[in-house]
């Protein structure tokens, strides 16, 4: 993979931080950092996931990265395309390193088989009808071999490949993949992103059990709406679910 042109060129390395996303947002409150500024931390002691979830990680073992972007060329109502671009970048990066098939569990968890390799947290600032800035938070399990028992299904690069990895080398590679897909977004290639993301979905076009409000049902994922809602076909009907409105039964 070629080196990136701007994402990760300004790289801030931290020994420890509550959250790389929080650090990035503090930077945005001051002088406007150059686009592509990346923050990587050896230890993240209060990492966050989607919808208030926590991200538990062992010090020095995993990749915790946040990138500052200014995607003011897309409307706020199209912000899920940014999620698509970032998810595809992380998926392709993982496939490149592991030489294994990786899937995206809607909306943006990264899966190897039925186990979670990593996750993404995107925090956008909206100004009028546009996204004025985005903080892209990415956490990937790299060299960790033992996980907190409260985590349901984690796995790491080291467990898959039976070897350790140089995390800073991986950061440079990941930034190149992020830039590749961000440039697709900048060129407004929405149809390309939508098709690639949909075909990369975990359990796409497979019949599986889901849970809604404690009730189990069997359905088939058939895509994602433009607003980011997951489309599941159930008993001849098309159901649409927002974040946290439906649960995968693993």
Residue 236 CB-density burial (10 A; 0-12 exposed, 13-18 middle, 19+ buried): exposed
Identical topology for domains 11-199 and 207-248: no
pLDDT at residue number 107: 97
Q: What is the pLDDT of residues 184-202, one digit of tens each?
A: 999 999 999 999 999 999 9
What's the CA gap between 60 and 173, in Å, rounded?
18
pLDDT at residue number 150: 84
| Domain 11-199: assigned CATH number | 3.30.930.10
- Enumerate the domain spans of the chain: 11-199, 207-248
Mean pLDDT estimate for the chain: 94
The answer to whether 103 touches 92, Cβ cutoff 8 Å, is: no
CATH class of 207-248: mainly beta
> DSSP characters for 96-139?
HHH-S--EEETTTEEEETTEEEEEEEEEEEEETTEEEEEEEEEE
Q: What is the pLDDT of residues 27-78, one digit of tens each?
A: 999 989 999 999 999 988 765 554 445 555 678 899 999 999 999 999 999 9
pTM of the model: 0.94
């Amino acid at each position: 993979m070629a080196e990136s042109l701007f994402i990760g060129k300004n790289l801030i390395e931290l020994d420890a931080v509550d959250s790389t996303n929080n650090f990035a947002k503090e930077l945005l409150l001051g002088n406007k950092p150059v686009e592509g500024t990346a923050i990587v931390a050896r230890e993240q002691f209060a990492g966050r996931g989607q919808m208030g979830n926590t991200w538990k990680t062992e010090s020095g073992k995993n990749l915790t990265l946040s990138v500052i972007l200014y995607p003011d060329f897309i409307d706020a109502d199209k912000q899920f395309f940014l999620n698509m671009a970032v998810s595809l970048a992380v998926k392709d990066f993982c496939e490149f390193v592991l030489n294994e098939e990786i899937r995206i569990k809607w909306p943006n968890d990264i899966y190897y088989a039925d186990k979670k390799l990593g996750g993404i947290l995107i925090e956008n600032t909206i100004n009028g009808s546009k996204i004025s800035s985005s903080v892209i938070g990415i956490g990937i399990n790299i060299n960790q071999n033992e996980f907190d028992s409260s985590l349901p299904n984690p796995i790491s690069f080291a467990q898959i490949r039976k070897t350790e990895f140089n995390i800073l080398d991986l950061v440079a590679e990941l930034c190149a993949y992020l830039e590749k897909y961000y440039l697709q977004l900048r060129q407004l290639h929405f149809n390309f992103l939508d098709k690639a993301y949909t075909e990369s979905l975990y359990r796409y076009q497979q019949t599986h059990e889901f849970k809604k409000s404690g009730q189990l049902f069997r359905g088939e994922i058939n895509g994602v709406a433009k607003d980011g809602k997951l489309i599941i076909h159930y008993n001849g009907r098309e159901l649409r679910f927002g974040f946290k409105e439906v649960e995968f039964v693993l």
